[in-house]
Amino acid sequence: MVISNVTKKILNGFLLFSVLLVSPISAAEENFSKHTIYAGVGPAPDGDEKENDDKPWSLGYLYSPESIRIFVGMDLALEGTSLDNTSRKVDSVDQGFSVNLVIGPRFRLNDEWGAGVGALMGARESGRSCPDSYLGYQCYADEKPEMDFKFNYGALLLLTYKNAIIGTRLAVESSQLIVGVTF
């Protein structure tokens, strides 16, 4: 049986990928940082007049228990569009606020390098509305505005080197570069 050079390269690549994937899982005692704080910023979307064009940004915190290879955390962001129908406004365009849960596996590639892939799920503000006030309040009788929310989802991809983190946050409404620290 003759194996071509292309097939050999594919098999070698698969073998290398398998070793990289299995080695973090089979490693003995590992020293992982428990806490991560990150910040992200992305490009402003080019949309029509009914879409917010402010730069999206996010702040997040991740916790990683030493006993299992996952991380969980919370992510707060200003992203997307929220239509404001308060204070005599009609579909005034503002930036939406989102609150998200992040969870995913973490991998240790060697003593200095690590990686993580997380699912991001939460809620994003899509609008505010209330009856108009005749006295200058935001809403009639100074009531709180009714808030509308939409489901927010995405992914968090992380690469760690010692105590530094760089990665990307991809959500329905924005794409952001994130940087952070672990401690």
Q: Which residues contact 109 (CB under 8 A, 6 or more apart)?
A: 20, 23, 24, 115
User: Does 14 fall in a domain?
Assistant: no
User: Does 132 fall in a domain?
Assistant: yes
62-89: per-residue pLDDT in tens? 999 888 899 999 999 999 988 887 877 7
User: Does 9 fall in a domain?
Assistant: no
User: Does 36 fall in a domain?
Assistant: yes
20-40: per-residue pLDDT in tens? 444 444 443 444 568 999 999
Listing DSSP states for 68-112 in one string gives SSEEEEEEEEEEEEEEEE-TT-SSEEEEEEEEEEEEEEEEE-SSS
User: Does 18 fall in a domain?
Assistant: no
Query: 9: pLDDT confidence band, cut at 50, 70 and 90?
Result: low
Judge whether 33 and 182 are in contact, CB under 8 Å: yes
User: Does 20 fall in a domain?
Assistant: no
Residue 97 is part of a domain; what is its CATH number?
A: 2.40.160
User: Does 12 fall in a domain?
Assistant: no
The total of structural domains in the chain comes to 1
Range of the domain at 70: 29-182
Predicted structure pTM score: 0.76
User: Does 108 fall in a domain?
Assistant: yes
pLDDT at 3 over 90: no
